[in-house]
């Protein structure tokens, strides 16, 4: 008898805690509190890692915003292992590369447990890669290594269960995307209005770009203060703030683009409506997938060069893959000379994007092609694939106006993949433009957060209306719901 991949999770079922599905539909207020509570758990996890030296040489700095990862904290890898595990196994199942019947309760439980196991496994592997390559310092004692492992892996396990709480229906939407949204929002406020002082080569400066501008105007010549506020490369600057706002505005604008297919009821005459197909049909998932690909490419290259080849710039293989160097400020660990890994990260500024066209084109192709591939694939294998929608139309007695029933699937196949790929490509281009202006990966985080926020608003509005508006929730907001 053949062993299926999901069966590998069977021995671990008694050891893995599982969040049970809620009994019945939870009240709106409860979902709000669960979502807020889970967000607080995420924010509390942003404590520094204890036991190692001061972290240096961050090889994934531009990837952190897309996964809610915070350097040097218990959220060192954010929710990347959880997101990547979910995307990989959903793709494998959708493409029929693994045998699983998600309509079967046992298979579904094994499938979810396997995703959870792979996420925890990634936390273990990533932690030990960073420890072995000296990210937390060299010559660590045995107990320091154990302590760092315990902190990061335990936090990863807690975050895995916390996301499962929201995913199982106790909160709104996706747990991972909730945390990415919380991270993007808090970091944006910190980048603009942060008051914490940071020691730089120019002295002590505040993190927030606006607060720094005010301080610079008071203590330096006006021209120098303005120039520094807009161009400082080592801390958030006003150009990055404006790029973030522009990215957010474009993301909101794109939410309104859609194709409206006229539909009619086959059961009730003269009942006509429209079925909207949005440009962002697959949301920000394709962009998230492209950053998962980039994360794997970067972490594999980082491991080979630093762990296997000791980052020896005289080694011919290191010259081909890329030698890592630390930036002057900020501690990023990057490959600055043309090589394979060189193309796996965005240009650091608009100047570099212009003067290094090969890097710009290479990185852009990776993001755009991977996003388009995922969007096309996902639009055909997910629960919102054309054949699934056509089946729903048939069950509900709905057809496209002016089309025969047999042509519904054909028409949807003509429209949906095009919308999905087009939307994914547009989002990828918007993200790239933000990176080329020095966004350092934050544009991707903003786009993912914006898409998540819109889906949350739709879910919350629908559930709030269906619940009739809870008295407790209304009182929480000063009785606005009763007006």
Instruction: Return the pLDDT at 303.
Output: 94
The tens digit of pLDDT for each residue in 425-463 reads: 999 999 999 888 877 888 899 998 888 888 877 777 776
Low-confidence ranges of the chain (pLDDT < 70): 1-3, 55-56, 201-202, 268-271, 328-331, 402-406, 463-483
Instruction: Return the pLDDT at 474.
Output: 44
Interatomic CA distance for residues 174 and 452, integer angstroms: 8
252: tokens are 């909101």
Q: Which residues, 6 or more positions from 333, have their beta carbon under 8 angstroms from its beta carbon?
A: 56, 57, 58, 59, 302, 324, 325, 326, 327
- Compute, in degrees rounded to 10, the torsion defined by CA atoms 15, 83, 459, 455: 180
Residue 65, judged by CB atoms within 10 A of its CB (0-12, 13-18, 19+), counts as buried
CA 416 to chain centre: 23
Interatomic CA distance for residues 56 and 130, integer angstroms: 11
The tens digit of pLDDT for each residue in 362-413 reads: 999 999 999 999 999 998 888 778 888 888 877 777 777 766 655 777 888 8
Instruction: Return the pLDDT at 342.
Output: 92
Q: Which residues, 6 or more positions from 14, have their beta carbon under 8 angstroms from its beta carbon?
A: none
Locate all alpha helices (DSSP H) within 255-314, ordered by sequence.
285-303
- Compute, in degrees rounded to 10, the torsion defined by CA atoms 174, 178, 180, 182: 180
CA distances from 475 to 29, 40, 460, 463, 472 (A): 11, 21, 17, 18, 5
Whether 448 contacts 184, CB under 8 Å? yes
Whether 444 contacts 431, CB under 8 Å? yes
Q: Give the single-character DSSP code of 304.
A: I
Residue for token pair 């020095």: 438
- Compute, in degrees rounded to 10, the torsion defined by CA atoms 458, 463, 465, 469: -120
Locate all alpha helices (DSSP H) within 133-233, ordered by sequence.
142-165, 175-193, 209-219, 222-231
């Amino acid at each position: 008898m053949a062993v299926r991949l999901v069966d590998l999770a069977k021995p671990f079922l008694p050891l893995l805690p599982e969040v049970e599905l809620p009994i019945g539909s939870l009240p709106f207020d409860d979902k709000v509190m669960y979502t807020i509570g889970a967000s607080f758990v995420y924010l509390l996890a942003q404590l520094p890692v204890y036991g190692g030296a001061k972290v240096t040489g961050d090889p994934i700095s531009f990837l952190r915003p897309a996964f809610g990862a915070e350097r040097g904290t218990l959220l060192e890898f954010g929710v990347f292992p959880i997101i990547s595990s979910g995307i990989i196994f959903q793709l494998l199942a959708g493409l029929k590369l693994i045998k699983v019947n998600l309509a079967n309760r046992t298979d579904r439980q094994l499938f979810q447990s396997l995703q959870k196991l792979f996420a925890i496994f990634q936390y273990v592997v990533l932690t030990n890669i960073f420890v072995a390559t000296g990210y937390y310092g060299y010559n660590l004692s045995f107990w320091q290594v154990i302590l760092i492992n315990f902190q990061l892996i335990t936090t990863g396990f807690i975050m895995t269960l916390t996301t499962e709480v929201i995913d199982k229906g106790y909160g709104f939407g996706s747990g991972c995307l909730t945390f990415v949204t919380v991270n993007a929002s808090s970091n944006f406020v910190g980048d603009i209005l942060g008051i914490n002082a940071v020691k730089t080569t120019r002295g002590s400066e505040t993190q927030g770009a606006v607060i720094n501008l005010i301080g610079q105007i008071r203590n330096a010549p006006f021209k120098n203060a303005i120039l520094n506020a807009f161009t400082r490369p080592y801390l958030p600057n006003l150009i990055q703030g404006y790029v973030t706002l522009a990215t957010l505005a474009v993301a909101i604008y794109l939410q309104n683009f859609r194709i409206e297919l006229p539909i009619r009821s086959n059961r009730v005459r003269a009942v006509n409506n429209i079925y909207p197909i949005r440009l962002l049909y697959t949301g920000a998932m394709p962009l998230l997938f492209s950053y998962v690909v980039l994360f794997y490419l970067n972490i594999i290259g980082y491991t080979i060069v630093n762990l296997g080849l000791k980052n020896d710039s005289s080694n011919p293989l290191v010259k081909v893959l890329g030698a890592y160097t630390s930036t002057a400020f900020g501690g990023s660990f990057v490959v600055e000379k043309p090589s394979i890994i060189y193309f796996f990260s965005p240009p650091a500024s608009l100047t570099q994007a212009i003067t290094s066209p090969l890097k710009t084109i290479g990185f852009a192709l990776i993001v755009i092609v991977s996003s388009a591939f995922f969007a096309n694939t996902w639009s055909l294998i997910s629960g919102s694939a054309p054949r699934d929608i056509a089946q729903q139309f048939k069950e509900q007695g709905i057809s496209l106006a002016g089309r025969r029933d047999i042509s519904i699937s054909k028409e949807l196949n003509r429209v949906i993949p095009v919308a999905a790929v087009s939307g994914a490509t547009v989002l990828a281009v918007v993200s790239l433009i933000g990176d080329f202006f020095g966004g350092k990966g934050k544009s991707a985080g903003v786009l993912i957060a914006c898409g998540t926020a819109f889906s949350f608003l739709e879910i919350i509005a629908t559930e709030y209306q269906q619940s009739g508006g809870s008295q407790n929730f209304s009182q929480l907001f000063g009785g606005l719901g009763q007006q």
